[in-house]
Structure 1
Amino acid sequence: MNATAAPSAPSAAGPAHGEAGGFAARVRWAVADGWTITRRDVLHWLRRPGQLVAGLLFPVMMLLMFGFLFGGAMTVPGGGDYREFLMPGMFAMTMVFGVGETVTAVSHDMARGVTDRFRSMPMAPSAVVVGRCAADMLRSAITLAILLGCGLLAGWQWNGTGGEAAAAVGLLLLLRFSLVWLGIYVGLAVRGEGAVTAVHTLEFPLGFLSNAFAATATMPLWLGTVADWNPLSSTVTATRELFGNPGWGGETWIAQNALLMAVVWPLAIVAVFFPLCVRRYRDMAG
């Protein structure tokens, strides 16, 4: 890791600056430190292009497998092309699969002593976790753009307006944003490879116990209810509606209010895990 000079911690605001000036200095300090960590993580990708390419190819292979190998045997309640039904689910699943990447990166930094080195530097307490979040969001945006292109090449298309499609992409990235904080917290709280293995193992049941690949109406009532209340299902249903793809709607309250819940669920996750991440990192430094 290339050493990057960290900005000095701002001193307490003097009488001439007042509390507002002191707060502004702390914000600038936190932003500068967060950007330093983001650059460091992005440079690591550029030095390991094979790992980045492998991560980008995985969702593409999933798309080809479900869209072309299994798609012919699947039906969409109410009619419609299964590939159009599938694509919003694949987009959302890709956001879920990113949790494992976040946990892996945080756990490796902990194991190699990188996190301890950051804690010994005069950095803003939020810089390490905010920098990790920014880097992971950049990677997720690139992955989502590639997957959107692959979907268009495979025959998928959106049937709504450009603004609705942009809103759908925004909801997908909002889901990923919330799950980044979950991944950072797990990576900080649980030591060892066990955390990485557990998260990778749980990604699949979390993703499949939803409406990403099959409509919940085709499931047993109790299982369909659990799947409807999976936060992933709200994002999938909302993006299907915004993209104008088949399969959105439903009988339950949460399915009928998917657009609302696709915002509420991620915000609730962020409200819980962002302060937990900062507190956990601060406690480690104490």
Structure 2
Amino acid sequence: MSTTTLERPVRTVATRVERPEPPSALSASLTLGWRSVLKIRRIPEQLFDVTFQPVIFILMFVYLFGGAISGDTTQYLQFVLPGILVQTVVMASLYTGISLNTDIGKGIFDRFRSLPIWRPAALVGALLADSIRYVVAAVVCLAVGMAMGFRPDGGVLDVVAACLLVLVFAFSLSWVFAFLGLTMRSAGAVQGVSMLAMFPLTFASNVFVDPSTMPGWLRAWVDVNPVSHLVTAVRGLMSGSPQAGDIGWALIGCAVLVAVFAPLTVRAYRRKS
């Protein structure tokens, strides 16, 4: 029997085999997001910033500065904990850009490019996985605050709504840092620029003090700072007196961040890959 005769049945069988359908965009994003979750499980040190940082900030500001600022550490805890919750979760979002830049430097996204999947799936999956970090940060802040005597006047649903609002804002802000991670040359540069942008957003706000004592030029910035609106909205929800205006401004800020930086980030990602 000739070789040609043997090849014909093999070719016939090969042509009859149907290729599996490529995964949907949602399925591919969730799968690659689970990959990022597995990285956290194997390297738990990645959660140190969202577990130890809120503890340090709460203890330091309440017991070192609380008496000097408000005269009563218990009263200051009620004021500052929602602000530290916002600061911790928002600052955790900058890890997205550092992680993306590191993966690009290692050539991991070159491997994803060869897969028959939705091209931005790796990017969206990384952003979704980082939401777990935000949840951990929020839970740690609330747990430490409750142990120290923080008692929100609002109900459980109000506290959950406040945390969800913070998570949505952090997810929206992570698109900015993802864009930096895709456009800058090194993870160190991403971290430096991200921290430079983060400090005026978090410290030049109403997180730690009432802005009424600030000079006019600084208060003008605090009044338009989206983090200030978010902190006010979270304080209102946790105190049982939500302010619709501040909640609306916080959600508008989220929409603007996603509308501007999501297309820029996806475009930068396609150029990289």
Q: TM-score range by the shorter chain?
A: 0.7 to 0.9
Counterpart in 2 of 1:204?
199
- In terms of Rg, which structure is larger? 2
Q: Deviations over 1:69-122 (max 9, x none)?
A: 11111129xxx9111110111011012211331121111111111122222322
- Matched to 1:239, the amino acid is V
Counterpart in 2 of 1:16?
none
Q: In angstroms, what is the RMSD of aligned CA positions?
A: 2.2
In structure 2, what is the Cα distance between the partners aligned to 1:197 and 1:168? 29
Instruction: Give the drift of 1:40.
Output: 0.9
In structure 2, what is the Cα distance between the partners aligned to 1:71 and 1:123? 52
- The answer as to 2:51 corresponding to 1:51 is no
In structure 1, what is the Cα distance between the partners aligned to 2:20 and 2:41? 28
- The answer as to 2:255 corresponding to 1:267 is yes
Counterpart in 2 of 1:110?
104
Report matched runs for 1:176-187 at 5 Å.
176-187=170-181
- The answer as to 2:221 corresponding to 1:233 is no
Identity %: 35
Check 1:185–1:9 CA distance in 2 against 1; reply closer, same or farther (3 A cut): farther
In structure 1, what is the Cα distance between the partners aligned to 2:46 and 2:164? 26
Assess if the C-alpha contact under 8 Å between 2:96 and 2:177 holds in 1.
Answer: yes
SS of the residue corresponding to residue 156 of structure 1 reads: coil
- The answer as to 2:74 corresponding to 1:83 is no
Instruction: Give the drift of 1:166.
Output: 1.9
- Higher helix proportion: 2
Counterpart in 1 of 2:120?
126
In structure 1, what is the Cα distance between the partners aligned to 2:86 and 2:25? 31
Assess if the C-alpha contact under 8 Å between 1:92 and 1:172 holds in 2.
Answer: yes
In structure 1, what is the Cα distance between the partners aligned to 2:265 and 2:61? 35
Q: Deviations over 1:167-226 (max 9, x none)?
A: 211111111111111111111111212122221233223210111111111111121111
Assess if the C-alpha contact under 8 Å between 2:230 and 2:250 holds in 1.
Answer: yes
Equivalent in 30, 35, 57 of residue 62 of structure 1? 57
Counterpart in 1 of 2:89?
95
In structure 2, what is the Cα distance between the partners aligned to 1:119 and 1:281? 11
Check 1:8–1:73 CA distance in 2 against 1; reply closer, same or farther (3 A cut): farther
Report matched runs for 1:251-266 at 5 Å.
257-266=245-254
Counterpart in 2 of 1:189?
183
In structure 2, what is the Cα distance between the partners aligned to 1:9 and 1:133? 25
5+ residue gaps, structure 2, are: 1-18
Check 1:149–1:266 CA distance in 2 against 1; reply closer, same or farther (3 A cut): same
SS of the residue corresponding to residue 212 of structure 1 reads: coil
5+ residue gaps, structure 1, are: 1-6, 11-27, 250-255
In structure 2, what is the Cα distance between the partners aligned to 1:43 and 1:168? 28
Normalising by structure 2, what TM-score? 0.85
In structure 1, what is the Cα distance between the partners aligned to 2:170 and 2:96? 11
Instruction: Give the drift of 1:146.
Output: 1.6
Normalising by structure 1, what TM-score? 0.82
- Matched to 1:274, the amino acid is A
